[in-house]
Amino acid sequence: MKYLIVGLGNKGPEYENTRHNIGFKVAEKIAESIDAPFKTANFGWLAEGKYKGRKVLILKPDTYMNLSGNAVKFWMQKENIPLENVMIITDDLALPFGTLRMKMKGSDAGHNGLKSIQESLQTQNYARLRFGISAEFSEGRQVDYVLGVWNEDEAAKLDERIEKFSKACLSFVFAGIGNTMSAFNGK
């Protein structure tokens, strides 16, 4: 059984520690925990490893957020990974900082990465793990906020939250989405 875990973000040092790149950070933690180094690959950086006997591919697309769907579709087809074995990790403005919300399907909620994936896969029925980044910005400042760095309070809690999210993704691989949602949502 193969799984594809995709952490959304933007390439380049200017985006590395921004709120919008939390998907990359969680993907990096998952890869580290299963001792799977990232290598340059088609449409991004790919780490391949095993977790409890299951093959796990972890992808950080280099397509920029708005074209993430191209990378997801390519690797699903190349590795013959069914939709139910795909997990997308993304930031979410609608959730308080650090809140974990896993869902089996849903709308893109205005997120350009999810919108691109939905267009490429022609469905909203794919698993996603949303990392709450809250919405602490004034009107018209959303782009600056999501592309901004974590504040001091958030930064202090970030490692623990990334660890929790990586465990949720590995639980998805082994225990399935229903069990994982029960165990981790809101935690």
Which sequence spans correspond to the domains of the chain? 2-184
- Are 63 and 112 in contact by the 8 Å Cβ rule? The answer is no
Task: Kindly list the distances between the CA atom of residue 41 and the CA atoms of 48, 119, 147, 186, in Å, as whole numbers in the listed order.
Answer: 11, 22, 25, 34
Region class of 90: left (phi > 0), else alpha (psi between -120 and 50), else beta:
beta
88-100 pLDDT, tens per residue? Answer: 999 999 999 999 9
Predicted confidence (pLDDT) per residue in 126-170, tens digit:
999 999 999 888 888 888 999 999 999 999 999 999 999 999 999
Alpha helices in the chain (DSSP H): 22-33, 68-79, 112-121, 142-146, 152-175, 177-184
Beta-ladder partners of 2? 55
**How does the average pLDDT of the chain come out, rounded?**
94
Return the active site residues: 20
Residue type, 10: N
Residues composing the chain: 187
The topology under which CATH files domain 2-184 is: Rossmann fold (3.40.50)
